[in-house]
Amino acid sequence: MITPYLPKLSQSGGQRSSYYSIKYLAPKNDITLICFTRDTDDVNDVKQYCNKVIIVKRGKTWDLKKILNAAFSPYPFLVINYINKDLKNTIQSELDHHHFDLIHCDCFYPMPNIPKTNTPVVLVDLTIEYAVYQHYVENLTGWKKLIAPILWIDVFKLKYWETHYWKNTHTVVAFGIDDQKIISEVTGRHDIQYFQNGVDQKYIDASVKTKKSPKPSILFGVSNMKWMQNSESVELIMKKYWPEIKKKIPDCKLYIVGRFAPEYFNKYQSADVTVTEAEADNQPHDPQYYYQYCWILLAPMGSGGGTRNKFLEGMTFGLPVITTSEGGMGSIKIVNYKHAIVCPSEDVLNNVFKLLNDSQYRQDMGHAARTLIKNNYSFEKCVEGLNQIYDKITTKKSR
């Protein structure tokens, strides 16, 4: 398995999903994990599930050489950041000295480091990258519009290479039904697989340890705020929805929680807005605390794709979720307005007010959400789907 980060519990999104994938793949698979990362903290957490863990140190994201390479090479800046001689050599060495049934690569951007090989490669694409970056460029405002032509070139290169690997990789696995459909349409392939993201059993089994806030409270998180979809969502809340919410419900509180939240959004910190990082699991202010303390999770999304861990985990703790039609629920199969709310952006406020003002409606939706996740989205069950994909590949290979 090759990952462009260190899979770990203390992060959100892809890193967390990769960690749980490894945890529940381990009983049936011998895993050699190669991580391309600057982060080595908590590496022992994932080592317990792997035959071997190899860390290849990643350099700085922004340096002149990488910027020039992105400008004058066919690769976009995102991919340039993950093309690395040491990573290539490490992968090659493992393939030369050991037998592997398959290579699993999380995200497409480390793919140029994988040499030509007869070993089947499984690309697990956690989100459609070019769509996220394209949405960002389309919505630039102010002085940033001046650099839009340069960014569009990068988006076109990103789309080219992402599509290239979808078309030319042995097996492609999408992290959502909508993403599966898009990849199938773009490539003309009818064999695009689908992986259902899930929640760890410890969240499903967790007892209530935190009382609900005595005042109306809204959570955005728990998320990595460096990811542009999450940054955009926070800005939408603060500029479009929060002022109206405060007018109508003056004692309402907002919690913007996630990795790098203070770094990006400390300007919004106030008596009514808390901007913070969650603590590690089992500490006083861990993700579970915020999921149980707040009344609703509000996450207006500008574009789709991604793992939607915050929705899965929030719903596991009975937290009603409101999101927009543009983002949807990812791979979570809900009955709208029963398990969660997906609505046009102009209807968001009405649904926020209805949930905050109607405790029975809020409790009913939270209970329905928790039951849905508990019965269908444990990570242990979901990873069985990935094991079935592996089994098909190795069975065909052995014939």
Do domains 2-198+380-398 and 201-377 share one topology? The answer is: yes
- Quick one: pLDDT at residue 307? 60
Pairwise CA distance, residues 352 & 38, whole Å: 40
The ranges of the chain with pLDDT < 50 are none
What is the rounded CA–CA span in Å between residue 11 and residue 19?
10
For 195, the enclosing helix (H) or strand (E) is none
Q: What is the pLDDT of residue 221?
A: 85
Task: Please give the structure tokens belonging to residue 37.
Answer: 């990362």
Please report, for the chain, the start and end positions of each structural domain, with discontinuous segments joined by +: 2-198+380-398, 201-377
pTM attached to this predicted model: 0.88
Which among 15, 57, 21 has a CA at the least distance from the CA of 39?
57
Q: How far apart are CA 159 and CA 199, in angstroms?
A: 30
- Taking Cα atoms as reference points, which of 202, 203, 228, 235 lies closest to residue 319? 203
| CATH class held by domain 2-198+380-398 | alpha beta
At the second CATH level, the architecture of 201-377 is 3-Layer(aba) Sandwich (3.40)
Task: State residue 176's pLDDT score.
Answer: 81
Q: List alpha helices for the chain, DSSP H.
A: 14-25, 43-47, 64-72, 77-80, 85-97, 129-138, 148-168, 177-187, 201-205, 228-236, 242-248, 261-265, 287-293, 309-316, 348-357, 359-376, 379-398
Do 312 and 198 contact (CB within 8 A), yes or no?
A: yes
Residue pLDDT, tens place only, 32-83: 999 999 988 889 999 999 999 999 999 998 888 999 999 999 999 999 999 9
